[in-house]
Structure 1
């Protein structure tokens, strides 16, 4: 085995050091984080779409038999699943485990707290919402109706405002926890498309969706409004636009969540009734 020349090794290390310095001093520098994170989110969506397409075409037998628009939606749901796992994990960390938004551990108003990591995470979500909204509008209404346009538009505006201003990032992450239900919703669509609507996996998925939705999209929103009530004297110190967003966006999303939750309950009851009749 031929040894690598010492000069080559030193040259590689030099390039690595330069790349690390560029990454640290520019891409992760506070003024650039919002823009690089948005770009990173958009690029991550492209990679997720291509990987979903590649893996599905190799390992999923039913994938090649889908229509063109079904394959597009299949790949698109791969994007939303990966984003949901990333942002819900980050949101759970910031809301329940990190000291960043704790009333006891840090001084200052909680509605104005932020960090490079919290800003970066929101930027990735902005990149996702832009990419997904673009696909929804381009193929409208194949990937979703007006409710999806409203949901993504409101979410994107609120997340972008919180990212650029540093205001109300705690409440933004509280809302983003609701993305924890996205993988289950996507799995339901995958099972249905794969012809597994009568399988036990489909029934279990429905039960999981019910409890996940109840906790993350109903009860958690109640906690958010209660937290805003307790910290109202801080909330009123925000800029007017941010103040309005704190009340309007969660209220609209909570209403949509309740409507969808009603449909989930009806669908679950219907599925259980059909299985009971078959037994």
Structure 2
């Protein structure tokens, strides 16, 4: 296991956090932590994209194969970040049990792939699929913090996030999960880990679907209210309220 690489990664992300804390002292620690998360998301997506689409091998056909040097490096960079982020979340009590379970499962999966020397191929695929939506999630938080979330830009970020999550983490992730389960090279413990990670993806998907429904319904209700106001007099008609209740 590349202990030195993981340690350097942990130290690097921690130093970046301290730099952000010093630079944005007036914004608070979560602002700095989310900047680190955003930086990690961009870096690891680019790194694992190169591993998957350029260097190879393809995770759908080579699940369970021996780790390459670049795959190992990618896992070390990501593992160091997850150690940092888990410690930060526990220290500041910012996340619930589901997110903490996701962090713990991610750490366990990367540790197993590094310790056994195999399955980094599909693990990098899981990391790519999981982190590709992360910059959008952080953008949503920053827009809300800056008071610009309730805008066309905020709607576009939410729509792209939900679409990517459903298509990549649930859709493509489901096919990768199937390939991992059916691969004769993948060990049983990695298959069981895949079951846990995909189950967590569905837990998140259900929460995201509920959020999407609530936001869409709220926007529709506001649109109907604005349309009724522009219509003029409809609300004063004796049948106006009853008609609205029937449509609801």
TM-score (norm 2): 0.80
CA distance in 2, matches of 1:275, 1:44: 46
State the 1:48 CA deviation: 2.5
Are the structure 2 counterparts of residues 40 and 196 from structure 1 closer, same or farther at C-alpha, using a change threshold of 3 Å?
same
Residues 1:258 and 2:205 aligned together: yes
Report the CA distance between 1:191 and its aligned residue. 1.0
| Closer, same or farther: CA 274–91 of 1 in aligned 2, 3 Å | farther
Q: Which residues in structure 2 correspond to 1:264-275 (within 5 Å)?
A: 264-270=211-217, 272-273=219-220
Q: 1:190 aligns with which of 132, 142, 161?
A: 142
Partner of 1:217: 169
Question: Are the counterparts in 1 of residues 13 and 84 from structure 2 also a CA contact under 8 Å?
Answer: yes
Task: Provide closer, same or farther for how the CA distance between residues 81 and 232 of structure 1 changes in structure 2, counting only shifts above 3 A.
Answer: same
- Contact 1:217–1:257 (CA<8 Å) still a contact in 2? no
Q: State the 1:98 CA deviation.
A: 2.3
Q: CA deviation at 1:275?
A: 6.1
Instruction: For residue 243 of structure 1, report the CA deviation from its aligned partner.
Output: 3.8
CA contact (8 A) 2:79 2:107 kept: yes
Which of the pair has the greater relative contact order for Cα pairs under 8 Å at 6+ separation?
A: 2
Q: Is contact 1:203–1:271 with CA below 8 Å preserved after alignment?
A: no
Aligned counterpart, 1:93: 50
CA shift, 1:54, in A, is: 4.5
Aligned partner of 1:155 in structure 2 is 106
How far apart are residue 87 of structure 1 and its match?
1.5
Tell me the number of residue pairs that the alignment of Structure 1 and Structure 2 aligns: 225
Q: Given the two structures, how large is their TM-score scaled by the length of structure 1?
A: 0.72
Aligned-residue Cα RMSD (Å) equals 2.4
**Structure 2 CA distance for partners of 1:123 and 1:190, relative to 1, 3 Å:** same
* Cα distance in 2 between the residues matched to 1:199 and 1:173: 35
Greater CA deviation, 158-167 or 41-50? 41-50
- After the TM superposition, which residues 95-114 of structure 1 pair with which residues of structure 2 at under 5 Å, given as runs? 95-101=52-58, 110-114=63-67
* Residue matched to 2:242: none
Structure 1: unaligned runs, 5 residues or longer: 1-30, 58-63
- Measure the CA separation in 1 of the matches of 2:184 and 2:118: 14
Kindly tell me: are residues 128 and 259 of structure 1, through their superposed partners in 2, closer, same or farther at Cα, counting changes over 3 Å?
A: same
Consecutive unaligned residues of structure 2, counting only runs of 5 or more, are 228-248
Residue equivalent to 1:242: 190
Residue 218 of structure 1 and its aligned partner are, at CA, apart by 1.4
Asked whether the equivalents of residues 60 and 179 of structure 2 are also in contact (C-alpha less than 8 Å), the reply is no
**CA distance 1:156–1:172, shift in 2 (3 Å):** same
Q: 2:48 touches 2:125 (CA, 8 Å); kept in 1?
A: yes
Does 2:25 align with 1:77? no
